[in-house]
Structure formats: structure tokens, C-alpha cells
Amino acid sequence: MNKILCSFLLFLILFPAACTKHDDPELEEPGKVIVLMYHRIVKGEATNLYERSLENLEADLMYLNSNNIKVISFADLGEFSEQGSIPEGNYAIITFDDGDSSWYTLVRQLLIDHNMKATFFLWTYMIGSDSFITWEEVENMSNYMVKGGERPFTFGSHSYSHSFLYDNRSRYATLAEYQSFLDYELGRSKEIIEQHTPGDVDVFSLPYGNGAGDEEIIAAAERNGYKFIRTSIWSAIDNTNLDLMIIPSLPMLDASEPDLIGYYLGISETYN
């Protein structure tokens, strides 16, 4: 009798545990990436649309920090693409276009102070002239290393002559001539930059944002060894538009407020 009673009590103890419904694991929220686009950085007040003051640039970097927006590289974005999705969280890629000398005199130290990485797109024909950065400064920045051996400053191409890549198509009588034009703009600039920087140049920024998504431009980029094309399409990146050859961006202009970044990432519903 005692044996039967013990068996019954053991059944009562174990049965509820066996039938208890376990909560399903919480699904991760899909992540987002914002690619920030800058041009010239100035001390004092910006005087045209594409300038941004050093003070405002620092405010942007502080906004990223205070809102847990992790600064990543295009290589990291490539890994997200290989994985098939963006991990939970908010991310930013910092980019600069053209080749202004302020990158070396102002931006470099600010990024070092905030422990942030960035990609700089060079208009190669103009480097070393007028108000542009010099090749010696490019070499200095691209070879700078932080603890652990990482190089935080990457250089990409903004083409050789900063031409309208798509709009200039009508100037060429044949497709072969147009393809030759594209190969020179993308290929020659890549070749020159690689003479002054470590590693391969695999990131391209469309001059004027002209030709985003165009098949011939994408094909030329792939022929010349590029893995990424940054466009001027205003948007953040999520799992629905993770296309490495049509990467959208957010221009940070003279009067842009830092919370514009949060608006595009969905952190804030409004911006100033």
C-alpha cells in the first residue's frame, strides 16, 4: 500500500512540471543601420549647405554615444549581409565625401578622441590641390592604428573626376564606350588610392548620388573590385533594403540637428 501511495505522490509532483507550457523565447527586434554623410568640417559657423561645424559634428558623435548607436564599418555591414539580417540594435557608419583638408586638421583628432571609425571617399583628381587633403595626410590617416592593431580610418573612391556617372551616358555613342568611361572613373581612382593606403579599396560613393541602382554602374563597380556602393538616397538600412550596391545615407548638412539621426533610426518620432 505504501508503495502505491509513494508512486501516486511522485506522479502528482512530476506531472504538472511535464505539462507546464514554457514561454517562447523572445524574438530579437531587427536592427537598423544609418550611414551618415559629411563633406567639409569647419571651425565656427558653417557658411554653406554642405559644411558642418566642428561643434555640430561633435554633437553628432555624442548623440551616437548617448543613444547606444554603435559605430561600425562597411566591412561589418558586409558581415550582416552574409548573415542575412542586421542584429538587434542601432548602428551607424560615418562617411565623408570629396577630400577636404579638414579631415586631417579637424576630423581626425575628434574621431580619435571619441574612439570612432569612419570611411573617407576621395575625389582622386583633386587630392593635393587647393583646399583638399594631401596624399601624405591620407597615408598618415590610413596607417593610423588603435590598440589591438585596428585601422579606424578607411578610404574609398568618390571617382576620379567627380562626374555624373549616369547622366553622362548620352555622351557616348556605344555601350562599350560608356563602359570604358565607367571603368576609368572607378578603376583609375581605386588604383591611385591603393598606392597610398593599406589593403584593397572596395567601397565607392556615387558623385552627386547620380545613378543609384543603375545596372551598368553596378556592373562596373563589380568589374573593378568594389563590394559596396554608397548612394545619396535618404534612408536608414533595415532587413528589407540591405543591398550592398544601393546603400542609402543621411546627409548631415549645415543646419541638421543630431536627433535627425534618431528619427531615421526610429528612436525619436520627431526631430528639430
For residue 92, give the CATH number of its domain: 3.20.20.370
The answer to whether position 11 is within a domain reads no
Residue 24 lies in a domain: no
Q: Is residue 84 part of a domain?
A: yes
CA angle 79, 77, 61 (to 5 degrees): 140
Q: Block means of pLDDT (10 residues each) for the chain, length 272 residues?
A: 45 43 57 98 95 98 98 98 95 98 98 97 97 98 94 98 98 98 98 97 98 98 98 96 97 96 90 70
Query: Per the structure block, which three cell numbers stand in for 199?
Result: 589593403
Handedness of CA 183, 104, 75, 72 (dihedral sign): negative
Task: Give the pLDDT of residue 7.
Answer: 47
> For the whole model, what pTM was predicted?
0.89
Let me know if 50 is exposed, middle or buried by CB neighbors in 10 A (0-12, 13-18, 19+).
middle
The DSSP call for residue 132 is B
**What's the number of domains the chain is made of?**
1
184 CB contacts (<8 Å, ≥6 apart)? 160
Decide if 21 contacts 82 (C-beta within 8 A): no
Domain that residue 222 falls in: 30-265
Amino acid (1-letter code) at residue 249: S
Alpha helices in 153-231 (DSSP H): 175-183, 189-194, 215-223
Looking at residue 18, what is its pLDDT? 43
| 259 found inside a domain | yes
Whether residue 65 is contained in a domain is answered as yes
Reported as half-sphere exposure (CB side, CA atoms, 13 A), residue 53 has a value of 12
Query: Can you tell me the distance from the alpha carbon of 203 to that of 226, in angstroms, rounded to the nearest whole number?
Result: 6
The beta strands (E) that lie in the chain are given as 32-38, 40-42, 51-53, 69-71, 90-98, 118-122, 153-157, 203-205, 228-234, 247-251
pLDDT at residue 268 in the model: 83
Per the listing, cell 563633406 goes with 39
CB atoms within 10 A of CB 75: 13
So what's the pLDDT on residue 269?
77
What CA–CA distance (Å, rounded) separates 102 from 133?
Answer: 8
- Residue 63 in grid coordinates: 548623440
Q: Mutual orientation of helices 215-223 and 175-183 as an angle, nearest 10°?
A: 50
pLDDT computed for residue 26 by the predictor: 54
Asked if residue 25 is part of any domain, the answer here is no
Looking at the domain assignment, is residue 45 inside a domain?
yes
